[in-house]
Amino acid sequence: VLLAAWWGASAAGMFPTGTVPSPDAVGRAFIEEVRAGRLGTDVVASLYRVAFGYVGACLTAIPLGLVLGRSATSRAALLPWVNFFRTLSPIAWIPFAIIWFGIGDPPAIFIIFLATFFQLALATAAASAAVPKVYYRVAEDLGLRDDEVLFQVTLPAILPQLLTALRVAIGVAWMVVVAAEMIAVRSGLGFLIIDARNGLRMDLVVVGMITIGAIGVLLDVVFARLARARAVRWGFER
């Protein structure tokens, strides 16, 4: 219905010239970008930056969250700072990212890292702190070592909540990379949109928007399917 309304409004000339492209113009622009190889290059560039920033945040934020969840002293000392930086918009860091890292992949990866790090750390801390104390008493009675408690008690207990946090974080990372690419780099889907806008190619702007939305949906579907794995399915069932 939305596509038909868009098509009808374009055919009737309801949009001022040069503002909203028609669906057929967007289709032609999409084919043009695919044939030239530019769209594929931009998609790969954006996914590359998201992968590095997101994985880096996971590898550092989850251990920090586990410490915060298990240690009251650490929570009292560090949690206010985690909350403070979590509320800062990642876009506010762009001037510093450019000064520190220059133009290219590093500043965009840094922005993605910040956007997901504090969110994941807080979610992991909340999930870890909510693990029933009786689990740890049983582990102590069984004589489990610290590493065994981590991998056999804590991580399995928080995995459903952690997966939800990872699913939300990947969506945030994907949105942030587009904003970072509009300022700090000269490739990627964000750069495609800003470059097309500067050239008054609104059809290419819409191509970039549709591609971003489609990949975002695909990433969300991938993480949603992970919730069906046997190791975490119990946390999502009644």
* DSSP per residue, 94-161: HHHHHHHH-SSHHHHHHHHHHHHHHHHHHHHHHHHHTS-HHHHHHHHHTT--HHHHIIIIIHHHHHHH
Kindly report, residue by residue over 46-88, the tens digit of the pLDDT: 999 999 999 999 999 999 999 988 888 888 898 889 889 888 8
Q: What is the pTM of this model?
A: 0.84
pLDDT tens readout for residues 38-53:
889 999 999 999 999 9
Task: Look at residue 16 and give its three-state secondary structure.
Answer: coil
What's the pLDDT at 234? 63
Task: State in Å, rounded, how far the first CA of the chain is from the last one.
Answer: 36
Q: Supply the DSSP string of 184-215, one letter for each residue.
A: S-SSSHHHHHHHHHHTT-HHHHHHHHHHHHHH
